[in-house]
């Protein structure tokens, strides 16, 4: 058996999320169908994170154990050939030791959330960003986000259905970039942490949007965090603006590896 690390991009709109679910399309199932075409043992694919329905990825990582050795470049090309009917692409493949685990070996995950402020509906970015009509105050959102940096009990900012054993997480950074956008403004929220709770990023962005819109003072974010009560959270942002951008490891398994075409 040889283990391979696989870096994946996908458009989350057609899927019920990353995780395999009976009767519902998932990214994991699409990848496993592709793997099954290459390996009669049909080995399972293990992902670094379980993105929700409608959430996208530019840097999801998974691992799979194949019963025979493959050249990583050729394996990437073969997988992409079998994924051609799905909005999923393998962008890098690397042979790794069996000690490598896509989920448990990760030391940091990075998410991007795209929020666009404009009156007109989105056309090219429909399903790829959250549109709001109001202009937002980026500095106020940065002041609100500052309350969330570090190690905290994030009960307020996690789904009531979250299965994590503890609400304690450490957020390393929340960066908010404002840029011009056709007929409006775009706000890009980049969050980095070792791991996140279910709906944590979307809960944080939805809350910060309230700050940017002037409905919440920045200090109210700290009050909500301290309450450790889900009812103190702002609205949860929709999934279409969220992207898993990167999963990082003590040693980058990919280096200069890439997929086949």
Confidence at residue 163, expressed as pLDDT on a 0 to 100 scale: 83
Distance from C-alpha of 15 to C-alpha of 87, rounded to nearest angstrom? 10
40 within 8 A of 69, measured Cβ to Cβ: no
pLDDT in tens, 88-118: 999 999 999 999 999 999 999 999 999 999 9
57, with CB counted inside 10 A (0-12, 13-18, 19+), is buried
Check residue 15 and report its DSSP letter.
Answer: S
Confidence at residue 187, expressed as pLDDT on a 0 to 100 scale: 98
Percent of the chain with pLDDT over 90: 92
pTM: 0.95
Distance from C-alpha of 32 to C-alpha of 42, rounded to nearest angstrom? 7
Distance from C-alpha of 128 to C-alpha of 195, rounded to nearest angstrom? 23
Copy the structure tokens of residue 176. Answer: 């908010």
205 within 8 A of 189, measured Cβ to Cβ: yes
Percent of the chain with pLDDT over 70: 98
DSSP 3-state of 28: helix
Enumerate the β-bridge partners of residue 116: 131, 186
Distances (CA, A) of 259 to 76, 91, 188: 4, 5, 28
Residue 258 has pLDDT above 90, yes or no: no
Ordered by where they begin, the domains of the chain are: 2-105 (3.30.70.580), 108-245 (3.30.70.660)
Residue matched to tokens 């969050």: 191
137 is catalytic: no
DSSP codes of every residue in 112-161: EEEEEE-SSPPSTTTTTSEEESS---HHHHHHHHGGGSEEEE-GGGS-TT
94, with CB counted inside 10 A (0-12, 13-18, 19+), is buried
pLDDT in tens, 19-36: 998 889 999 999 999 999
Confidence at residue 256, expressed as pLDDT on a 0 to 100 scale: 58
Copy the structure tokens of residue 204. Answer: 């944080």
DSSP 3-state of 205: helix
Helix (H) or strand (E) run with residue 190 in it:
strand 184-193
- Catalytic residue among 39, 52, 97, 175, which? 52
Residue 260 has pLDDT above 90, yes or no: no
Copy the structure tokens of residue 96. Answer: 């790794």
């Amino acid at each position: 058996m040889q283990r391979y690390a696989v870096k994946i991009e996908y458009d989350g709109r057609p899927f019920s999320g990353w995780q395999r679910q009976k009767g519902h399309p998932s990214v994991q199932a699409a990848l496993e169908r592709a793997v099954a075409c290459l390996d009669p043992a049909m080995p399972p694919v293990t992902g670094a994170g379980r993105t929700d329905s409608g959430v996208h990825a530019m840097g999801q990582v998974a691992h799979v154990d194949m019963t025979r050795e493959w050249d990583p470049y050729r394996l990437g090309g073969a997988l992409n050939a079998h994924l051609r009917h799905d909005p999923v692409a393998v962008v890098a493949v690397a042979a790794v030791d069996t000690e490598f685990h896509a989920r448990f070996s990760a030391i940091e995950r990075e998410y991007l959330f795209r929020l666009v402020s404009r009156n007109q509906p989105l056309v090219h970015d429909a399903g790829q960003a959250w549109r709001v009509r109001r202009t937002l105050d980026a500095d106020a959102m940065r002041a609100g986000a500052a309350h969330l940096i570090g190690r905290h009990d994030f009960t307020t900012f996690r789904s009531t259905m979250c299965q994590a054993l503890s609400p304690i997480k450490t957020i390393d950074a929340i960066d908010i970039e404002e840029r011009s956008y056709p007929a409006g403004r775009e706000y890009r929220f980049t969050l980095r942490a070792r791991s996140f709770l279910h709906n944590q990023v979307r809960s944080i962005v939805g809350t910060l949007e309230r700050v940017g819109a002037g409905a919440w003072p920045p200090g109210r974010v700290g009050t909500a965090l301290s309450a450790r009560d889900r009812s103190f959270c702002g609205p949860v942002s929709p999934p279409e603006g969220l992207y898993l951008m990167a999963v990082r490891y003590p040693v980058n398994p990919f280096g200069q590896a890439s997929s086949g075409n």
